[in-house]
Amino acid sequence: MSALGGVLAVDVAVDVLAVDGDALAGPAALVLVLVLLVATFFLVRNMDKRLKRLPRSFDEPPAPPGPPGAPEQRRELD
């Protein structure tokens, strides 16, 4: 795209976003950025709460040892 084409594209975009000669691109972008920041804040907060509820490890804890001299208990996997 040439420099002239880029200038024309920007000019057309400003004309589309203008209402009675007042450009709305700046305030609209600011509102969009603020909405995205608020949504990101709530998503991170929710993810933090959910991560705190997870166990540290998903490995099974070792079985407690039985009395001395007792045979080891083995689990059969089917």
Where do runs of H (alpha helix) occur along 1-78? 3-17, 25-53
- Does residue 47 come out as left (phi exceeding 0), alpha (psi in the -120 to 50 range) or beta? alpha
Going from N- to C-terminal start, the domains of the chain cover 24-55
pTM: 0.46
List the structure tokens of 51.
């991560």
Per-residue pLDDT of the chain (78 residues; tens, 9 = 90+): 455 555 555 565 555 555 555 677 888 899 999 999 999 999 999 999 999 998 888 887 776 776 766 666 565 555
Output the CA torsion 59→64→66→69 (10° steps).
70
